Amino acid sequence: MSTDNKLHIEVWSDVVCPFCFIGKKHYEQALAQFEHADDVVLEWKSYQLDPEFVQPDERYDLEEGLAKKYNRPVEAIHAMQQQIANTAKESGLDFDFSKAVTFNTFQAHRVLHKAKEKGLGDKAKEAFFSDYFEKGQDLGNTDVLKAEALRIGLTEEDFNDAINNDDYAYKVKQDIQEAYELGVTGVPFFVFNRKYAVSGAQPSDAFLNTLKASYDDWKEKQKTTPFINVSEQGASCDINGNCD
Q: Which of 195, 168, 169 is nearest to 182 (CA)?
A: 195
Give the architecture (CATH level 2) of 7-223.
Answer: 3-Layer(aba) Sandwich (3.40)
Neighbours of 11 (CB within 10 A): 21
Give 48-52's long-range contacts (Cβ < 8 A, gap of 24+). Answer: 48/14, 48/104, 48/105, 48/106, 48/109, 48/176, 49/14, 49/16, 49/17, 49/105, 49/187, 50/16, 50/104, 51/104, 51/106, 51/176
198-214 residue pLDDT tens: 999 999 999 999 999 99
Distance (Å, whole) CA 214 – CA 58: 48
User: 97-121 in b/e burial notation, b at 16+ Cβ within 10 A?
Assistant: beebbbbbbbbbbbbbbbbbeeebb
DSSP H or E run through 23? helix 18-33
Q: What is the tens place of the pLDDT at every residue in 96-149? A: 999 999 999 999 999 999 999 999 999 999 999 999 999 999 999 999 999 999
Give dist(CA 25, CA 204) in Å, integer: 8
Shortest CA distance to 187 belongs to which of 198, 177, 196, 172? 198
| Mean pLDDT, the chain, integer | 90
What tens digit of pLDDT does each residue of 158-180 get?
999 999 999 999 999 999 999 99
